[in-house]
């Protein structure tokens, strides 16, 4: 999805966020495990042209700052970013951010600017919610009760060579995964769901030097120059 400057007003979150601890300049930026799922085929056309091959490209991204590698197991706190398009077959450009209520306040403070600058998530619009997670080397399951079911599993170590140049610059060592089930029902509306489609898992590092050189253009949880 093309990142037009773009990833929920998380429950009683405004207070938590506005009172969040601002990280020290000497404190290293977060790193951990990232994954995403979208309803498009591989390779997702959003990566190049900003257009999806399905009418509604609902993209879900998961950032797990506590995960040090893809070997992370267990129930780790995460950020969940849900992107939707504004017109049919467009790449996601409107993003909602959900923050695990267990997320350390200092980490929220560190990542707030990242989500605003790269996905357009305005401070105070996030939602702090209960998120259940199961992160394993071959499987990731993330559930927000009554709202989201996200389950992806390992497919291959190989990522299409045509995809690599378009990935977010903060990602490392991506693997091709596939969606087992993605189901999202915001605000009591219709349920969006898909399975057997594109997913990627990688590690992320927000401290990579090139990230400070320019703002990036994100697309479909991925990258378009």
- What tens digit of pLDDT does each residue of 189-203 get? 789 999 999 999 999
Q: Residue ranges of the domains in the chain?
A: 13-223
Cα(195)–Cα(176) distance, integer angstroms = 15
CA distances from residue 45 to 42, 56, 173, 205, 224 in whole angstroms, order as listed: 8, 13, 21, 25, 10
pTM over 0.95: no
Alpha helix segments (H runs only) across 85-214: 105-119
Please check whether residue 133 is in contact with residue 145, taking contact to mean a CB–CB distance below 8 angstroms.
Answer: no
Give SS3 for 190.
coil
Tens-digit pLDDT profile for residues 73-130: 568 899 999 999 999 999 999 999 999 999 999 999 999 999 999 999 999 999 999 9
């Amino acid at each position: 999805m093309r990142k037009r400057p773009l990833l929920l007003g998380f429950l009683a979150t405004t207070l938590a966020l506005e009172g969040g601890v601002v990280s020290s300049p000497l404190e290293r930026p977060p790193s951990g495990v990232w994954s995403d799922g979208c309803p498009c085929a591989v390779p997702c056309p959003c990566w190049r042209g900003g257009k999806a091959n399905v009418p509604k490209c609902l993209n879900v991204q998961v950032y797990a700052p506590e995960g040090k590698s893809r070997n992370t197991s267990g129930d780790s706190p995460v950020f969940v970013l849900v992107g939707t398009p504004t017109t049919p077959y467009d790449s996601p450009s409107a993003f909602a951010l959900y923050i695990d209520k267990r997320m350390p306040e200092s980490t929220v403070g560190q990542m707030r600017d990242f989500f605003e600058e790269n996905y357009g998530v305005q401070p105070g619009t996030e939602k702090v919610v209960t998120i259940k997670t199961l992160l394993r080397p071959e499987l990731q399951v993330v559930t927000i009760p009554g709202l989201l079911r996200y389950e992806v599993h390992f497919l291959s170590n190989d990522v299409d060579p045509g995809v690599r140049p378009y990935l977010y610059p903060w990602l490392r060592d991506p693997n091709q995964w596939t969606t087992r089930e993605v189901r999202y029902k915001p605000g009591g509306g219709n349920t969006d769901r898909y399975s057997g489609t594109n997913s990627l898992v990688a590690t992320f590092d927000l401290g990579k030097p090139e990230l400070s050189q320019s703002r990036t253009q994100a697309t479909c949880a991925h990258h378009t120059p």
